[in-house]
């Protein structure tokens, strides 16, 4: 991770940078993975604000407090759920995503969640294999919680290919 990069909880003034990071990060995906009609969707500002106010939004900043990455968590099926983790492509492959993920995992452990879940692409090397390095593993269909199952169905309804999506979980209890 670059020496001038810092991971912290987001402050209100950081929120306006997040949609630009989302759009930039989505640009690295093929149209077959993220269709054009959903490519430019971003998280609503009121959702970001609620996550920031509840301490469930992290940012990575470079020089001059410039936001270059972020992660947002919410609670799903009683577990910490990593909703999104993005690093601006100009700052990719420098360990920033890993640092953000470690901060989120540490937080979830301190909050005493039994596990952390996420949904990602199974076939892209920078997605599921990235999370596997941190101990995440696939959640089998029969073990999906109702909320996580509904999230996967919502993604398919939005235009994502369900065969390319994978729900993963990291156990946080000893």
What CATH number does residue 59 fall under?
3.40.630.30
Q: Report the predicted TM-score, pTM, of the whole model to 2 decimal places.
A: 0.92
Asked if residues 87 and 120 have their Cβ atoms less than 8 Å apart, the reply is no
84 belongs to a structural domain = yes
Summarised one tens digit per residue, pLDDT across range 56-88 is 999 999 878 899 999 999 999 999 999 999 999
76 belongs to a structural domain = yes
DSSP 136-172: -EEPPGGG--HHHHHHHHHHHHHT--GGGEEEEEEE-
Number of domains in the chain: 1
pLDDT class of 158 with cuts at 50, 70, 90: confident
Average pLDDT over residues 27-49: 84
* Predicted local distance difference test score (pLDDT) of residue 138: 96
* Predicted local distance difference test score (pLDDT) of residue 114: 96
39 belongs to a structural domain = yes
**Distance between CA atoms of residues 60 and 66, nearest Å:** 8
152 belongs to a structural domain = yes
């Amino acid at each position: 991770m670059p020496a001038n990069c810092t991971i912290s909880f987001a402050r209100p003034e950081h929120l306006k940078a997040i949609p630009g990071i989302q759009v930039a990060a989505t640009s690295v995906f093929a149209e077959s993975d993220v269709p054009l009609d959903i490519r430019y969707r971003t998280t609503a500002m009121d959702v970001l604000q609620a996550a920031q106010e509840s301490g469930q939004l992290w940012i990575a900043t470079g020089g001059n407090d410039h936001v270059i990455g972020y992660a947002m968590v919410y609670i799903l099926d009683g577990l910490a759920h990593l909703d999104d983790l993005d690093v601006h492509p100009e700052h990719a492959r420098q360990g920033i995503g890993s640092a953000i993920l470690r901060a989120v995992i540490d937080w979830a452990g301190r909050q005493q969640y039994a596990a952390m879940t996420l949904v990602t692409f199974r076939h892209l090397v920078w997605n599921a294999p990235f999370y596997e390095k941190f101990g995440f593993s696939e959640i089998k269909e029969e073990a999906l919680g109702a909320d996580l199952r509904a999230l996967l169905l919502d993604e398919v309804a939005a235009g994502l290919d369900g065969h390319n999506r994978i729900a993963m979980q990291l156990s946080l209890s000893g």
